[in-house]
Amino acid sequence: MSLWWFIKTLAITAFFCSLASSYDNEPLQDMCVAANDSQASVFVNGKICKDPKLATTDDFFASGLNVSGNAVPVFGIAATIVDVNSMPGLNTLGITVARFDLELQSISPLHMHPRASALITVLEGTLYAGFLASDPTNFFRSRLFSEILNPGYVFVFPQGLIHFQYNVGQKKATFLTFLNSQNPGLVMIPKSIFASEPPVPDGILAKGFQLNKTQIAELQNKFS
């Protein structure tokens, strides 16, 4: 990868770091049930804070974005994530960075991040990326915002909106994702709907998607 790409990537990272006022100003977990047990874990901004006197340089360093991670079966996507778990110094800073590698004709399925906006920049290959937003003129419809992305192109997905990335090029696609939360969350739409535990009653799914129960059962089997 050329020096120019690294400079561009660093510039994007610096841009996100400058938006400190927008970081994690809302809850970092899906829920926070009060603990009556005095021995229970205590979470402060998502993690317990270390005594600053015990901090080391290693707390603010991580490696691995130069190589692909392990591919997820079926979808052909590999992820390498740098978050507060791999770089403790990110705690309270509201930053997560990830590298994704998509094989030919592979897709990052429809998903959303409930606690973060996501900005991506393509390093190699060609992506078709887009997100869905509500249509202010029709409550029952949505608007698709999409773009073909080549190396050096940048695209942003607003917080909480459903989005996807699809490799439409002739080789593996590699892109970086920057999220303005240390715990952005991930909701995979198909699996959330058809593979929940316990499952959503098939009658509700059938009515909601205007399908019959046999078709719903097939989808549940597919995504379970």
Task: Based on the fold, state whether residues 193 and 138 are members of the same structural domain.
Answer: no
Q: How many domains does the chain have?
A: 2
- Examine the domain organization and report whether 160 and 104 are in the same domain: yes
How many Å apart are CA 119 and CA 157, to the nearest integer?
A: 6
Inter-residue contact 165 to 102 (CB < 8 Å): yes
Same domain, 179 and 202: no
Q: Distance between CA atoms of 122 and 113, rounded to whole angstroms?
A: 19
The reply to whether 19 and 110 lie within a common domain is: yes
Print pLDDT tens along the chain (224 aa): 565 555 556 555 555 555 445 556 666 667 665 566 656 666 666 678 888 888 899 999 999 999 999 888 778 999 999 999 999 999 888 999 999 999 999 999 999 999 999 999 999 999 999 999 999 999 889 999 999 999 999 999 999 999 999 999 999 999 999 999 988 999 999 999 999 999 999 999 999 999 999 999 999 998 88
Residue 53: its H or E element = none
7 with 69, same domain?
Answer: yes
Among 103, 99, 104, smallest CA distance to 66 is for 99
Specify the pTM.
Answer: 0.83
Q: Which two tokens stand for residue 17?
A: 């770091």
Residues 42 and 124 both lie in one domain: yes
Quick one: 92 and 125 in the same domain?
yes
| Domain shared by 214 and 176, yes or no | no
CATH of the domain at 76: 2.60.120.10
Same domain, 40 and 24: yes
Q: Are residues 89 and 140 in the same domain?
A: yes
* Domain residue limits at 216: 186-224
Tell me whether residue 46 is annotated as binding. no
On whether both 117 and 203 belong to a single domain, the answer is no
The H-or-E segment that residue 203 falls in is helix 202-209
Question: In 3-state terms, what secondary structure has residue 77?
Answer: strand
Q: Any known ligand binding at 180?
A: no
Q: Residue 223 annotated as binding?
A: no
* Residues 145, 49 share a domain: yes
